[in-house]
Structures are given as C-alpha cells and as structure tokens.
Amino acid sequence: DTAVSQTPKYLVTQMGNDKSIKCEQNLGHDTMYWYKQDSKKFLKIMFSYNNKELIINETVPNRFSPKSPDKAHLNLHINSLELGDSAVYFCASSPLGGGHSYEQYFGPGTRLTVT
C-alpha cells in the first residue's frame, strides 16, 4: 500500500489556468506538507498543515492555497498559473510531535509544466 500518494503524476497546462493537485496519506499522521522543487533541484517548503490548521506558510503567492478536507488529505490549488510555477511538487506527512516531525514521508511528486 502506498503511504503518501499524489495525483496526477504529470500535469501540463497553459498559463492562466487553475489546477489542483491531490495528496492522500494512509499513515495516520497529523501533519502534512507541500514542497516545491524547482529545476535547480532546490526543495522548499510551501505549507505545513496540522490538525487542519495551517502552521507554516512560507512566502508563496496567494495564488497557491492548501485545502485539507480531513486529516488524511491535503490538496494544493493553484490559480492563474504562471510559467514560473513549473516545478515538481511534493506532498509529505509526519507524525505529530514526539521528535518525529523531521521524519517525513514524501509522495512521488507531481511534475507541473506550464506552457
């Protein structure tokens, strides 16, 4: 069974469109994250959600919005897509506290290409 899954794996779309990436974890973790890895391979955190509350919100454009319908899901909505949004987006999850918040489990990634 896949621990952290993302859909779609690949997403090609045009500038100005609105798209969503879905993430699900079946590990029972309380915290979920979204990361962006650009073409230079730098991996940067975008959001962190704990018990359906946003606890970390890096300085990302407000065109990006995380949505968590329940503890097992954290979806990423992107409005008015721009060329610079092209990257690989990773979802991750981790147990709450107990010294495990640095032990994160990552999904396979979604490669977003904006044309």
Partner 1 sequence: LAKTTQPISMDSYEGQEVNITCSHNNIATNDYITWYQQFPSQGPRFIIQGYKTKVTNEVASLFIPADRKSSTLSLPRVSLSDTAVYYCLVGDPFGNEKLTFGTGTRLTIIP
Residues contributing to the site for partner 1 (CB under 8 A): 4, 41-45, 48, 50, 55-56, 58, 90, 92, 97, 99-109
Break the chain down into helix, strand, coil percent, rounded to 5. Answer: 5, 55, 45
> Smallest gap, in angstroms, from Cβ of residue 110 to partner 1?
10
Measured from the CB atom, the residue of 12 and 43 that comes closer to partner 1 is: 43
Contacts of 42 (CB under 8 A, 6+ apart): none
CB-CB contact of 36 with 87 (8 Å): yes
Measured from the CB atom, the residue of 58 and 82 that comes closer to partner 1 is: 58
> Smallest gap, in angstroms, from Cβ of residue 112 to partner 1?
14
Measured from the CB atom, the residue of 4 and 81 that comes closer to partner 1 is: 4
* DSSP label of 23: E
> Smallest gap, in angstroms, from Cβ of residue 115 to partner 1?
20
Measured from the CB atom, the residue of 9 and 63 that comes closer to partner 1 is: 9
**Closest to 75 measured CA to CA, from 34, 16, 18, 115:** 34
